[in-house]
Amino acid sequence: MALADVTSLQRRLREWSLQPSNERNYLRGPQQMILAALDDPRRVTQLSVSGYLLGTWHLGCGQLDVLSGNATGWDRVRLGVAFQRTALWLRCSRRTQSRRGEGADLPALQTANCVVLALALNDPDCEELLAAFAALPDDRFGEADAYPLFVRELLALRDLKRPVFTPRLGIYGDVLQAWTSDDHTLSRRLHALCEYHLTRTRGAPGSPAEFDEPGMMLYPAEILAVAAVRKCLDLRTPKVEHPLMFTNLVATSASGSWPSDPLLQRMRTAVSRIGRN
């Protein structure tokens, strides 16, 4: 059944990339809005939203290339992460208060996805965003935010801190509980997380699913993020026998330096300028 689900998701991703309305909403429209907002400090929100959408387009189309056997698609995937990370970092210039303290104005789910992508792909420029997400107070996470909470605890482990286990983590907490278990136990927990991933690729109005984004549907970034954090800690990650782990998105990897893009560089300059104001 899982193999059929993966095949169905590949078809869904391909159909998404071919829809003219998606090219307009995720590529041409955001490019125009970014250009219009770059020099206008009043359009910070527009710049952030447009950058994230453009990143989504590059992520989805790049992954489709990789799935088709075109390794150059990894450059578009990494470019997509860079646009999303830059867009989210732009929001860090705004601070919000809560009962538990001050934190960056970051959307929990979108940022969690960007964090696991950055970890999985070894993003060299992600540390500021990771630190901002790790510092978010508890009350910035809702009752349905088990996955973002899990990602925050992954960052705690990476920083050699003790993770916090709560019932709110659900199946994600099972993985953390098996962190120091034998390979068989951890592999079973990660396999269960792959199965859960496939059930969380289509949300509903008012009830978003963790992986209902083109760049996350077929890419088990949360599993690869676990492996990346364990590698940082000199821990081995057992092999996970699941169809989601056998596509070209896992069997191949990006190489060389991260790609550059003139529009991304202009966004980064705007982020730096806004951060100084």
Return the closest-CA partner of residue 215 out of 110, 94, 139.
Answer: 110
* CA atoms of 135 and 169, how far apart (whole Å): 18
What's this model's pTM, rounded to 2 decimal places? 0.94
Fill in the DSSP letter of residue 218.
S
* CA atoms of 63 and 136, how far apart (whole Å): 30
Q: What count of other Cβ atoms lies within 10 Å of the Cβ of residue 234?
A: 6
pLDDT of residue 134: 94
Instruction: Kindly tell me the burial class for residue 177, based on how many C-beta atoms sit within 10 Å of its own C-beta (0-12, 13-18, 19 or more).
Output: middle
Instruction: Kindly tell me the burial class for residue 218, based on how many C-beta atoms sit within 10 Å of its own C-beta (0-12, 13-18, 19 or more).
Output: buried
* CA atoms of 119 and 114, how far apart (whole Å): 9
pLDDT of residue 207: 85
Q: How do the pLDDT tens digits run along the chain, 277 residues long?
A: 588 899 999 999 999 999 999 999 999 999 999 999 987 777 888 999 999 999 999 999 999 999 999 999 999 999 999 999 999 998 886 666 556 556 678 999 999 999 999 999 999 999 999 999 999 988 889 888 999 999 999 999 999 998 888 889 999 999 999 999 999 999 999 999 999 999 999 988 888 899 999 999 999 999 999 999 999 999 999 999 999 999 999 999 998 999 989 999 999 887 777 654 5
Please tell me the total count of domains within the chain: 1
Query: Could you list the residue range(s) of the whole structural domain that residue 118 is in?
Result: 2-276
pLDDT of residue 123: 96
* CA atoms of 200 and 20, how far apart (whole Å): 26
Beta bridge partners of 228: none
Containing 79, the helix (H) or strand (E) segment is helix 73-91
Q: Does residue 95 sit in helix, strand or coil?
A: strand
pLDDT of residue 42: 78
* CA atoms of 81 and 207, how far apart (whole Å): 24
pLDDT of residue 139: 83
pLDDT of residue 96: 62
pLDDT of residue 206: 80
